[in-house]
Amino acid sequence: MILTVTLNTALDITYRVRSLRPHASHRVSEVTERPGGKGVNVARVLAALGHEVTVTGFTGGATGRIVQERLAAVPGLADALVPVSGATRRTIAVVDERTGDTTQLNEPGPTITPAEWSAFQEAYADLLHGVSAVALCGSLPPGVPVGAYAGLVRTARAAGIPVLLDTSGEPLRRGVAARPDIIKPNANELAELTGSHEPLRATQDARRRGAGAVVASLGPDGLLAATREGRWRATPPAPVRGNPTGAGDSAVAGLLSGLADHLPWPDRLARATALATATVTAPAAGEFDREMYEELLTGVAVSGEASAA
């Protein structure tokens, strides 16, 4: 079983409009609502791939109840969210059908009290029993210490469980120092962490800072990985048009799925790249075009070399 942690869960609301214009009224052609937050998106993709997955994090208020109701309908996914007094946040994505561009509005999330944070840490430690891998994903809600992910990484490592960290800013900087097995930043997050805008140099520097492996998302250019076993670049066969929201979460799901299936790194990266690309054409984050994914699995180009023994 794989555990995903989303401290700042959300109800993702997507509006589609013909053309988004500032200072204008718009008629919405389609509205979708789905449980969200990075780790929740990862969990939904993992469940769709046939993995048993448990979601934890915080939930509260009417929005939190909607999130849990929607999660209950996902086969293979177990809800272990911890209740809090505040309300789960909402995120609003407005998709411009003319250009394909997406405008994102993210609420900050509920303020977590010290008692609620302590309760979560206890629940997290209990959930680690019987887990094959852990993903720590997304932003921190107000009230959670900036070093929270570093502590959660250490707890997982002490239990002998591989842990993937996907966050940004100071939580990422502190989390890397706790030596997660994998980090999955995008190019901007990686540059902010290392100070280098050259991806290959930056991935190597991030490894020196403590990460066992660094897999950088390069948007439509695929993934770049620096690991103990070697360095590789995975590239989709052609760019696709659509909504890139959630593509990075699907890449995380692909990496975890490959880890659970004991795939070598090149195959993990091909799976992650295919999933990320197939998510761009899907209606919302946490979903992917299965037919496109299966076609892309054999079309993703993976180049690089294994480390010398």
Sheet of strand 102-106, all strands in order from the earlier edge strand to the far edge: 28-36, 10-17, 89-96, 102-106
- Residue given tokens 């097995």 in the structure block: 181
Instruction: Give the C-alpha separation, 77 to 270, whole Å.
Output: 24
Q: Show the tokens assigned to 79.
A: 């809800």
Catalytic residue flag (residue 249): yes
Cβ–Cβ < 8 Å for 265, 225 = yes
Structure-derived torsion over alpha carbons of residues 112, 116, 119, 124, reported in degrees to the nearest 10: -20
Cβ–Cβ < 8 Å for 300, 274 = yes
Indicate which residue of 96, 249, 267, 289 is catalytic: 249
- Residue given tokens 């699907």 in the structure block: 250
**Other CB atoms closer than 10 Å to residue 100's CB: what's the count?**
12
Cβ–Cβ < 8 Å for 100, 131 = no
By annotation, the residues acting in catalysis are 249
